[in-house]
Amino acid sequence: MSDKVIIFDTTLRDGEQCPGASMNLREKMEVARQLERLNVDVIEAGFPVISDGDFDAVEKIATEIKGPKICGLARCVAKDIDAAGAAVKPAGERGRIHVFLATSAIHREFKLKKAEEEIIRLAVEGVTRARGLVKDVEFSPEDASRTEPEFLARVVQAVIEAGATTVNIPDTVGFAVPDQYASLIGYLRSNVRNIDDAIISVHCHDDLGLAVANSLAAVKAGARQVEGTFNGIGERAGNCALEEVVMAIKTRGDFYGGLHTDVVTREILKTSRIISRMSGLHVARSKAIVGENAFAHSSGIHQDGILKKRETYEIMDPEEVGWGGTELPLTKHSGSHAMKVRLEHLGFHLSDAQLKVVYDRFKDVGDKKKFVYDDDLAALVEDSMTSDSETYTLDYIHVTSGSTTVPTATVRLKKGGETLQDSSPGNGAVDAAMQAIDRIVKRHGHLAQYSVEAVTQGRDSLGEVTLKVDFGNGDLITGKGASTDVIEASARAYVNAVNRTELLQGRKAAVAAAPI
């Protein structure tokens, strides 16, 4: 068996299925470029058949990203498989089609209403069709951890015979526990006669908080591909957090018998932060590896030990995952080239047109505060990424407010070449701005959560607003915006949420059919 554990990142597919995390094309490309720098082995770029937007994103990633294999998801349905094959075609030999079909008794009876032999036939037909389009085919028996082991072994053997090069054993609903999951991998290795003709993969969800533990137990039992997302984002409680798997294998090489990944670990923190900004999902301070407190020590005893010898209370060197380094703040006198170099250091590689948009905002911010720090720059880049031609962008906002006047906001938005403007009173300045935006976009959003925090230290810091909005479709949509003015930041965040819900429309039903 190989000593390498393949890292399969599904941030752009399963991670994006997390409510409120939908990304536009620019945001997806920033994530994909960072995953390329991180050197993951496989990028599952999306579910091409869902929409033209998903197809275009997978095709663009397959065209521009070099190095990792580019994968498209498909049900065992001809139109899905054909769409995935066409989308990953620009990747050439690096293209992969990932087909799936539910196999557990509960799915067979209540969702598919099909017998065991029919499931095997459909799985084989799906893999065979995919092999006609690409050489690299992965098959997933959905809900494998709740499938009868004997039947699962029959399915796995049949799809390998049909040409599957990777067989994924997903814990779709986060039901497994480590010992049982490892035993299932062991059972397949012992009872599928052609198991060595394919790589065993695992895809674990975190409903019981065991996704990483289950994945590592499976690796110990012989799995050689781990699927997940950075920051652990994904449906319900999320996916296996890949940064934890990578660093567990690296840190505990003694236990994992020399297994390794090819991930460039110094890019992990940068990856985490880019994904957090592009998805609009915060990383908890206490999150392992990438949380702000991951290497913080407040106890006097711990601080004393760290000063004497770091390893007394740190099992990893923070620099190994990207912590540390000197931050060189920019000022309003800094030129566009200096800003570009700093953005590239942060992992953002923008076109000249995109740099101009960010630089214009940078100059505005530079006029209002003494220094522009790395987090300020990242917030400005994120803020600029909602300005695709099919989405709304904030062009102007004017608010009147005070203790003796009715708060009123006038907002002007742009959508492509169209300029839209309206005004509205409100219960406060923020409410007035949001109601004016509602009038323009012809939606009514219910604000479920609202928070504002300083991006950096100091009274002149950028304020970053994060909010969650329900536009009446049952989803809480996350929006983020940044400005030195909190009212403007709130308006930007609300427009960001509007853009995300526009992106989400038309995808919900198709995504619901594929909760691997």
| Binding residue positions for Mn(2+) | 14, 203, 205, 239
- Give the DSSP H or E segment for 318: none
Q: Bridge-partner residues for 468, per DSSP?
A: 449, 478
DSSP state of 241: B
- CA distance readout (Å), 195 to 117, 222, 494: 20, 11, 51
DSSP state of 93: G
- Mode of pairing for the β-strands spanning 6-9 and 42-46: parallel
Task: Report which residue type is found at 135.
Answer: K
Ordered DSSP codes for 366-424: HHHSS-B-HHHHHHHHHHHTT--TTSEEEEEEEEEEETTEEEEEEEEEEETTEEEEEEE
Cα distance between residue 52 and residue 44, in whole Å:
17
User: Measured at the alpha carbon of residue 65, what is the angle toward residues 258 and 272, in degrees to the nearest 5?
Assistant: 60
What does residue 139 show for φ and ψ, rounded to 5 degrees? -120, 135
Q: Are 214 and 181 in contact (CB under 8 A)?
A: yes
| Binding-site residue set | 14, 203, 205, 239
Return the closest-CA partner of residue 236 out of 15, 49, 445. Answer: 15
Cα distance between residue 245 and residue 215, in whole Å:
8
Q: Bridge-partner residues for 476, per DSSP?
A: 470
Q: Quick check: helix, strand or coil at residue 433?
A: helix
Q: Are 409 and 398 in contact (CB under 8 A)?
A: yes
Q: Are 99 and 124 in contact (CB under 8 A)?
A: no
